[in-house]
């Protein structure tokens, strides 16, 4: 359980504050400066009073109006001058006490009382107005009340002293009624005149308090401005100024709030843009990395396609060579067929000439050997074609999907080579049979002439076999020519593919460079966005400081209204 809070006791006012009439809002330094101004004016006023006394006192002594010796006059004036010099010296030294104003005011009252004591009561009471009213105007009501009382008593005392000096008898308080009337009128007039500067001082003090509150940032307060005088017009001008300044401060506060809100929005937007830029930069970096990898793959594809094109060109050259060999083989087969035909005709014509027939049969045996060698050559060509087809299939397998068509053609060439090989074997077998028949014919020729007639039939069969061989060789040559054409087409296609891969590699390199440039640009954009983010944060901080600075100003009046 917490103890109840006891409100703090109000601080007791000091003796100086109570005697001087200072309020809690008064600044001691300001009061000291105001007192020093009053003191300097008092020094000048006393010099003026001493000068007037130095002129009037000797003049009055000459006319016999004042029964005072010159020594006394000089002594009084000298003492007054010495005191005023001492006061001026104290003021120059800066020494100050709050009660100095009372002491100097009493001194002025005493100085004014000297002419009254010398000349007697009467019109000289005006001098007390000169001594009292300046303090009333400068210091306020408290000192004014004190000086009115002190001046009244001093006037009565000086009048009594004058009566004693001139030698009039009577009671102590036996003064003329006019003296008391003058004193009463002095009190009434002084109090009435004191109200004027007192009211002015009060209004000025209120105005100064309002200005002090305005200095602290409270622009909602207003001066009363109830009286239409110079001070009232000044109060109205002050109110108008406070109103205009309050409007300006209010607008500045609203603008500061809007700037702070805008700075917050800008900072938030900058944060989002920075995050988005970082995400885009990450994507651009990934894209640049992927494009670099793609460029590597494109370069590798370009190298592979170039190598495949070179291999296809080599295969095309080999296929062309095989086609040329096949054409030469066809020509050789054609020549063999023609020779066999001529031999057959010769055998039919010479049928009766055994020796010639035997010789012809012998030549036919040699021709059979040549045909056998041709058949073996065809077999070798078939084997080479088979090897070429196998190599073409291997190259097509290396080319993967681009060599699929070429692999099919290679399979067909290999099949045709197999058929050519089988045909060659059949030719060899046929030649073997022909040779056997020729041998039998020779033996038959040796055995008898009658068997020579069968040589024509055997020669016809040999010619038919050679024609079959010629057709087979022609077919093989056609297949080899087709293979060469296909090889040329594949070589041209691989060259086109290599060119396309080269262009693709160039495009990939260009795209990779563009991706790198985009990544660099995004990095620069991120740096710029970071700068913008820092600037927006600084703007938000500046707006917050501005709002904090403006917050000390208030445009609300005492009722809480703007």
Q: Span 189-217, mean pLDDT?
A: 74
pLDDT of residue 5 exceeding 50, the answer is no
- Distance between CA atoms of 452 and 339, rounded to whole angstroms? 20
Q: Span 298-311, mean pLDDT?
A: 73
- Residue 551: predicted pLDDT: 63
- Residue 556: predicted pLDDT: 56
Q: Half-sphere exposure of residue 164, counting CA atoms within 13 Å on the CB side?
A: 10
20-29, 113-122, 257-266: which has the minimum mean pLDDT? 20-29
Name the strand (E) or helix (H) holding 511. Answer: helix 453-551
3-state secondary structure of 219: coil
At 381, the pLDDT band (50, 70, 90 cuts) reads confident
- Distance between CA atoms of 142 and 21, rounded to whole angstroms? 6
- Residue 1: predicted pLDDT: 42
- Residue 8: predicted pLDDT: 43
- Distance between CA atoms of 536 and 460, rounded to whole angstroms? 110
Cα separation values, 370 from 466, 517, 535, Å? 11, 76, 102
pLDDT of residue 23 exceeding 60, the answer is no
**What is the residue-wise DSSP string for 439-459?**
HHHHHHHHH-GGGGHHHHHHH
- Residue 167: predicted pLDDT: 62
- 447 CB contacts (<8 Å, ≥6 apart)? none
Q: Span 521-528, mean pLDDT?
A: 73
Assess if CATH 1.10.287 describes domain 294-496.
yes
- Residue 239: predicted pLDDT: 79
- Distance between CA atoms of 325 and 381, rounded to whole angstroms? 8
Nearest to 383 by CA among 411, 423, 420: 420
> Are the C-beta atoms of residues 120 and 68 closer than 8 Å to each other?
no
- Distance between CA atoms of 154 and 113, rounded to whole angstroms? 6
- Residue 249: predicted pLDDT: 76
- Residue 85: predicted pLDDT: 92
Burial class (CB in 10 A: 0-12, 13-18, 19+), 163: buried
At 441, the pLDDT band (50, 70, 90 cuts) reads low
- 451 CB contacts (<8 Å, ≥6 apart)? 441, 444, 445
What predicted TM-score, i.e. pTM, was given to this entire model? 0.39
- Residues of the chain with pLDDT > 90, as a percent, come to 1
Cα separation values, 85 from 50, 88, 92, 395, 519, Å? 12, 5, 11, 131, 90
Structure tokens at 399: 């080319």
Distance of CA 296 to the CA centre of its chain: 37
Q: Span 97-118, mean pLDDT?
A: 83
Q: Span 113-121, mean pLDDT?
A: 80
At 322, the pLDDT band (50, 70, 90 cuts) reads low
- Residue 82: predicted pLDDT: 92
Highest-confidence range of 101-110, 223-232, 493-502, by mean pLDDT? 101-110
> Are the C-beta atoms of residues 484 and 385 closer than 8 Å to each other?
no
Q: What are phi and psi of 175, to 5 degrees?
A: -110, 155
- Residue 262: predicted pLDDT: 74
Structure tokens at 306: 């170039």
> Are the C-beta atoms of residues 246 and 219 closer than 8 Å to each other?
yes
pLDDT of residue 452 exceeding 70, the answer is no
Highest-confidence range of 170-174, 189-193, 339-343, by mean pLDDT? 189-193
pLDDT of residue 423 exceeding 60, the answer is yes
- Distance between CA atoms of 106 and 36, rounded to whole angstroms? 16
150-159, 231-240, 273-282: which has the minimum mean pLDDT? 273-282
At 554, the pLDDT band (50, 70, 90 cuts) reads low
Nearest to 522 by CA among 284, 273, 286: 284
- Residues of the chain with pLDDT > 70, as a percent, come to 67
Average pLDDT, the chain: 73
Q: What is the DSSP letter of 403?
A: G
Domain ranges of the chain: 16-215, 294-496
């Amino acid at each position: 359980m917490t103890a109840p809070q006891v409100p703090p006791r109000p601080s007791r006012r000091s003796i100086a504050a109570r005697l001087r009439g200072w309020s809690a809002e008064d600044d001691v330094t300001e009061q000291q400066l105001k007192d020093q101004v009053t003191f300097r004016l008092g020094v000048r006023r006393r010099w003026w009073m001493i000068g007037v006394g130095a002129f009037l006192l000797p003049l009055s002594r000459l006319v016999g109006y004042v029964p005072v010796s010159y020594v006394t006059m000089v002594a009084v004036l000298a003492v007054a001058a010495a005191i005023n010099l001492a006061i001026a010296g104290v003021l120059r030294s800066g020494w100050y006490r709050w009660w100095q104003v009372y002491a100097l005011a009493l001194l002025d009252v005493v100085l004014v009382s000297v002419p009254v004591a010398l000349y007697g009561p009467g019109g000289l009471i005006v001098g007390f107005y000169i001594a009292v009213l300046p303090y009333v105007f400068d210091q306020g009501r408290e000192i004014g009340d004190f000086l009115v009382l002190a001046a009244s008593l001093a006037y009565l005392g000086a009048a009594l002293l004058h009566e004693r000096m001139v030698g009039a008898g009577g009671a102590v308080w036996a003064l003329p009624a006019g003296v008391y009337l003058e004193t009463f009128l002095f009190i009434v007039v002084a109090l009435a005149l004191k109200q004027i500067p007192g009211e002015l001082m009060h209004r000025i003090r209120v105005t100064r308090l309002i200005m002090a509150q305005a200095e602290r940032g409270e622009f909602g307060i207003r001066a009363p401005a109830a009286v239409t005088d110079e001070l009232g017009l000044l109060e109205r001008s002050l109110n108008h100024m406070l109103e205009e300044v309050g409007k300006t401060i209010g607008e500045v506060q609203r603008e500061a709030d809007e700037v702070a809100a805008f700075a917050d929005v800008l900072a938030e937007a900058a944060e989002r843009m920075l995050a988005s830029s970082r995400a885009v930069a990450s994507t651009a970096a990934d894209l640049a990395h992927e494009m670099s990898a793609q460029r590597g793959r494109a370069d590798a594809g370009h190298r592979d396609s170039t190598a495949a094109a070179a291999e296809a060109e080599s295969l095309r050259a080999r296929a062309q060579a095989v086609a040329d060999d096949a054409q030469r083989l066809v020509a050789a087969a054609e020549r063999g067929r023609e020779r066999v035909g001529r031999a057959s005709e010769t055998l039919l014509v010479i049928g009766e000439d055994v020796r010639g027939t035997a010789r012809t049969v012998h030549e036919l045996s040699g021709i059979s050997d040549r045909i056998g060698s041709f058949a073996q050559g065809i077999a070798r060509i078939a084997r080479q074609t088979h090897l070429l087809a196998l190599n073409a299939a291997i190259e097509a397998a290396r080319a993967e999907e681009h060599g699929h068509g070429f692999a099919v053609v290679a399979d067909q060439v290999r099949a045709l080579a197999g058929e050519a090989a089988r045909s060659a074997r059949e030719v060899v077998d046929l030649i073997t049979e022909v040779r056997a028949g020729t041998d039998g014919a020779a033996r038959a020729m040796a055995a008898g002439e009658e068997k020579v007639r069968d040589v024509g039939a055997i020669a016809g069969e040999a010619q038919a076999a050679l024609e079959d061989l010629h057709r087979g060789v022609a077919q093989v040559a056609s297949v080899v020519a087709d293979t060469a054409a296909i090889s040329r087409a594949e070589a041209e296609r691989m060259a086109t593919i290599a060119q396309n891969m080269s262009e693709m590699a160039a495009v990939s390199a260009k795209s990779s460079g563009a991706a790198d440039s985009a990544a660099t640009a995004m990095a620069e954009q991120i740096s710029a966005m970071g700068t913008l983010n820092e600037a927006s944060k600084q703007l938000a901080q500046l707006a917050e400081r501005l709002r904090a600075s403006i917050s000390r100003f208030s445009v609300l009046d005492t009722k809480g209204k703007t």
